[in-house]
Structure 1
Amino acid sequence: MSLPLIGQPPPERADAARNRQRLVEAALRIVAARGVAGLALDEVAREAGVGVGTAYRRFGDVGTLAYALLEDHELRFQEAFLSGPPPLGPGAPPQERIRAFLDALLDLQWEQWDLRLLAMQKAAQGWASGPYPTYQLHLVHLLRSLQPEADAPYAASVLLALLTPNVLDHQRRVLQLTPERIRAGFEVVLEALI
């Protein structure tokens, strides 16, 4: 998986790094020109001028490629909640940090809507892929700081489930809820849990 936790990515050969960069840049051009619906590994490989096998070996599926396109934003978000200023970063009480983290995550979901939805729907590992294990770990830590006796892993999974692209997509497209209504409803659930 190409979306790392904070820190240095594993070393890779120079030609592999160049190919990855070419594939990511080609994918970004395709998304800019045609939107996420136009994203296919075969087309990205052609646009990048590399073999289709290289694209599939590098990413495996279009969902993993979508996570790669989200990587820069994701690393900035992780830096903010792990070491940035409070209340998102360390230094604020756990309840404030939980609210700031989930609020920022919801903002991030809206900002990168189509890519996050594609990544979640198409990645071979689905929910277990990408940044979600990192979110879970961070939220469990904060919830345990707030309520040591509570079932923090369960509460964290419930809160994160409500912010998954699939759930938000259903709320927006099928239920036709506005982002404001979704945020207000989420706040009610969050208040009940914390």
Structure 2
Amino acid sequence: MSSRVSSLALGLAWMSAVACEGGREPAPQARDPGPVQQEPLDSGDLRGRDLRAVALGSMRLEGVRMDKADLRGVELGGLSLERARLDHARTEGLGLRGAHARGASMRWLDLREADLREADLREADLRGTSFVGARLEGARMDGADLRGADLRGVDLQGVTLSEVDLRGSQADAGTRWPPGFDEPLLRGVVVDGEAAKDRALGER
């Protein structure tokens, strides 16, 4: 009898404690959502993306859209960029030594001081791009569109330039052309603000 009374007393005490707490049970613990998932990269369309921390070397970049992407300091040397589009991308410090960029669209890029040695830029669209201070030894630019490109002070002696379009490109007395290369006199290159063709006619 006494044990039943004790059990009953304990039960009443527990019910009283629950009542004092408003009858609420402890709230369940929130689940850990885990790491935040970032938006996956579309390997075919990287336009406008910040690619500085992306392992581009493990991706297929032929024909990839990288217009207006942030490529500052990115190393693309030796990679295949054939037919890729990099127009208006941020490219300060971009490494392109030995890159295979035949037929790529690389308009209006800042490639000043860039390493382009042995790069394949044949038939590439390089309109408006600055090459001031760039290293271009062994690069191939045959058939490239260099209209409006900045070539002031650039050493092009070791570059192949057959059938390039140089109309409106900028050069100066420091621009060094391949031996025997007289195309600037015929292709509308602007030297120190004056078309090379007009200058040649004026000096006759």
TM-score above 0.5, yes or no: no
Q: Of Structure 1 and Structure 2, which has the larger fraction of its residues in helix?
A: 1
Query: Which of these two proteins has the greater Rg computed from alpha carbons?
Result: 2
Q: TM-score under structure 2 normalisation? A: 0.26
Q: TM-score under structure 1 normalisation? A: 0.27
